[in-house]
Structure 1
Amino acid sequence: MSEYGLAAFATLAVAAVLVALIVRGWRGRLKRQSGVAEPLPAPEGLGAPLASAEGQYVSTTTAGDWLDRIAVHTLGYKANATLSVHPEGVLYTRSGARDVFVPARDAIGVRRESGMAGKFVERDGLVVLEWRLGGRPVDTGFRARRPEAVAAVVTALEELTTPAAGGPKTTPDADQPEQKDTK
């Protein structure tokens, strides 16, 4: 075998080992997350969208940990998508993957970020919805194709996640009894 043939073989062997390790890691993540609840399907007769945008569904991660991608139920897969905000909740209609519906009662808040789960864009280029998936707080990132659509979507999401909208928008201490100042 020539010197170049040996180098090519070694390169292919290293690449194969790396791919095997990636697959093993992803399968391990799927196994560890087997208890994560599956998102609800979109209800029949969903109301007209309050706002929508075309773009890319980035991923769903554990809330506050943008590297801990939720792998189960295709929530960790990037896909072209349309995000639409409805009175009943938020719908991510994805190409090549199952749609993701977030009921309004599970939506916690919205914020803008510049990156999550391997997707990095300009400052505040991602719309991140924090919500509860079976009681577990998660973040779902979306990158709008047209920046002018973002303001309307963010406004509609903010209205959906306010206490006036009827959702569970509580602060971490909201479940604690109020303590009176005894001084």
Structure 2
Amino acid sequence: MNAHHPLALTQLAADEKSAQVTDWAARIGWVVGILLFIALVYWLMREGWKWRGTLQSDLPELPSAPSEPGATKLELTGRYHGSTTAGQWLDRIVAHGLGTRSRVELTLTDAGLDVVRPGARDFFIPREALREARLDKGIAGKVLAEGGLLIVTWAHGDKLLDSGFRSDHAAEQAAWVEAINNMIDSTENHSTTETEGAR
């Protein structure tokens, strides 16, 4: 049969239309399959998050800022990147909203470190709970250049936690490390003096 015969052209057009319909069905099937897979992964992640929160349910409620925090020493705005068990940068803490990343406004006062998080739960780290401040490169889910994160180690209940912050002006983070560590040294010296005086 001649390739240019009207019947042959009609058959070719019909075959092309049929192939297109088959392709669309396959594509829709793939899209639905991928969406279901994404939904499953999201559900598993959510369940894992809830399970981790259940495991950490023994963590006490977070302290609130005192009504009279004393003089303000430093302030910064930036991001809160999460908290982990101290020294274990991949062991994320999710209880009491500590796993929620957010914007942050940090204020260091005579009483301690006030962590205000728009859209997330605020908390306060009392002066006597502070253990160390340092610059580091990573915390669970976030890795930056060396020294890119301000890590504050603090005691909460019977756990030591590392909380990671990133200032909008990274250059000021070194001053925070110095100020927090000086505050810790001052608190420890004061406690030692009081203990010796009581003897």
Q: TM-score range by the shorter chain?
A: 0.7 to 0.9
Q: What 5-or-longer segments of structure 2 have no aligned partner?
A: 1-21, 193-199
Aligned to 2:72, the other structure's residue is in SS state: coil
Q: TM-score, normalised by structure 1?
A: 0.86
Q: Which has the larger radius of gyration?
A: 2
Q: CA RMSD in A?
A: 1.9
Q: Percent identity?
A: 32
Structure having the higher helix fraction is 2
Q: 8 Å contact 2:137–2:148 — kept in the other structure?
A: yes
In the comparison of the two structures, how many residue pairs are matched? 169
Q: Does 1:166 align with 2:178?
A: no
Aligned to 1:166, the other structure's residue is in SS state: helix
1:1-183 counterparts in 2 under 5 A?
2-162=25-185, 164-166=186-188
Deviation at 1:78, TM superposition (A): 0.8
1:10-38 Cα offsets, whole Å, 9 max, x none, are: 11111111111011101101111111111
Q: 8 Å contact 1:54–1:83 — kept in the other structure?
A: yes
Runs of 4+ in 1 over 6 A off after TM superposition: 167-170
Q: TM-score, normalised by structure 2?
A: 0.80
Change (3 A) 1:167 1:10: farther
Aligned to 2:45, the other structure's residue is in SS state: helix
The structure showing larger relative contact order (alpha-carbon pairs under 8 Å, at least 6 residues apart) is: 1
Q: What 5-or-longer segments of structure 1 have no aligned partner?
A: 171-183
Aligned to 1:161, the other structure's residue is in SS state: helix
Q: Distance in 1 between matches of 2:190 and 2:96?
A: 24
